[in-house]
Structure formats: C-alpha cells, structure tokens
Amino acid sequence: MNYPSKILERAVEEMANLPGIGKRTALRLVLHMLNRPKSQTAALSEALSKLVEDVKFCKKCHTISDLDICEICSNPLRDQTLVCVVEDVRDVMAIENTGQFKGTYHVLGGKISPMEGVGPTQLNVSSLVQRAKNDEIKEIIFALSSTMEGDTTVFYLFRQLKEYNIEFSTIARGLGVGDELEYADEATLVRSIQYRVPYSDQKF
C-alpha cells in the first residue's frame, strides 16, 4: 500500500499492530480520527499514554488498579480470608458486576498452556503461595475456564497449596440459568447431575 503521507502511514501501522485489526480496518479508523474533532483523538492518545505510564497492578492480587493496593484488597468490608483465583482482570470485572461476591481475588495473568509456551513461572503463582503461607486464607475458589488449560492450572495450584490449611473449591459447572435441558451438551449435563444440589439448599 502506498500512503500519501508518512504520518498517516505510521498511525495506520501502529493501529494495525493491535490484535484483530488489519491494515484496512486501521486505515478506516485513522481516517475516521481525521474526520472528527481533533480533541477526541488527542484525548485517546493521552488516555493510552496515561494507561501505560500510570496504571498499576495491585501488589497483593495483581488486578489492574490506580493504587498500589487495589480497592478490593484494601476494603475492610470484603472477606480477606476468601480468595477467588481468576485468569485475568476481565474475570474480576465479570464477578464484580454480579455484586454478589464479598471475598477478594488473585489474578493469575493467564493459564498454564504448554501449547502457547506459558508455564507456571509466567503466572502469579508464587505470590499466591506466599499469600497462603502468610495470610489467613480460609478458602480458595478456583474460578478458571473449564478447559484443558484451566483444569491443568487448577491441578497445579492445588498441588502447590494443599499443604496449607485451606479449603478449596471450584465454581459450579452445570446448566446455565434459563438453559433448556434438551440443548445442553452431554458433559455439562453429566456434571449437572453429578453435582446436584439438595432442593432445600437452593439459594434464590
């Protein structure tokens, strides 16, 4: 592609470096930026530069935060003895959006995946072991994806942590709320029946 301007070309190339954005989409986005008020693109540019400069990761749970210790970890109303282990920040946001979880988190930053060359050392595992050792953690909930990598990661973490006096649980697998039984896949249905819940224990 011949660009009529080097400045345009550089902007397109930097945008096209983002995942899922090709050269054509990048060009469309950049031309859109030129057609809207300058201030909007200046605001985008500043927000991104602030992002990489000022954003922090909580020293305790590794979630993205504006402070050294995130609002959840420093909140006395949250149960600090209950830790939910998740893959990334999006999972924290998803659970926080439910407004139902009153414990804290630990963000691993990924899953163990030999295929993608991600081993335990690339993840925030040692800090979790440290928290188990030092803190008064009573229960750890593994809230990872129900995939080969997710299960492998849970198994690895469990082996690292089992020596401590902690209860372990995983989030429930089963039919989604509103799902119709006849369309459920076999594996899910089997889990749903195996881990059935006494009717008197139902939480509405």
Give the footprint of a second copy on this chain (CB under 8 A): 1-8, 10-11, 13-15, 17-21, 25, 27-34, 38, 40-56, 63-66, 70-72, 88-90, 92-93, 96-97
Q: Pick the closer one to a second copy by CB: 69 or 184.
A: 69
- CA dist 126 and 74 (Å) reads 21
Q: In angstroms, what is the minimal distance from the CB of 59 to a second copy?
A: 14
- CA dihedral over 4, 9, 12, 16, signed as positive or negative: positive
Q: Pick the closer one to a second copy by CB: 41 or 127.
A: 41
Q: In angstroms, what is the minimal distance from the CB of 34 to a second copy?
A: 7
Nearest residue to 43 (alpha-carbon basis) of 32, 57, 33 = 33
Q: Pick the closer one to a second copy by CB: 10 or 162.
A: 10
Q: In angstroms, what is the minimal distance from the CB of 71 to a second copy?
A: 7
Q: In angstroms, what is the minimal distance from the CB of 68 to a second copy?
A: 12
65-89: b or e for each residue (b if 16 or more CB lie within 10 Å)? beeeebebbeeeebebebbbbbbeb
Q: Pick the closer one to a second copy by CB: 62 or 161.
A: 62
Which DSSP helix (H) or strand (E) runs through 150? helix 148-161
Q: Pick the closer one to a second copy by CB: 99 or 176.
A: 99
Q: In angstroms, what is the minimal distance from the CB of 174 to a second copy?
A: 25
Q: What angle do CA 187, 125, 159 make, to 5 degrees?
A: 60
* Residue corresponding to tokens 């081993």: 119
- CA dist 19 and 15 (Å) reads 9
Packing angle, helices 126-134 and 148-161, rounded to 10? 40
- Which pair of tokens denotes residue 4? 């009529």
Q: In angstroms, what is the minimal distance from the CB of 127 to a second copy?
A: 17
Q: Pick the closer one to a second copy by CB: 45 or 130.
A: 45
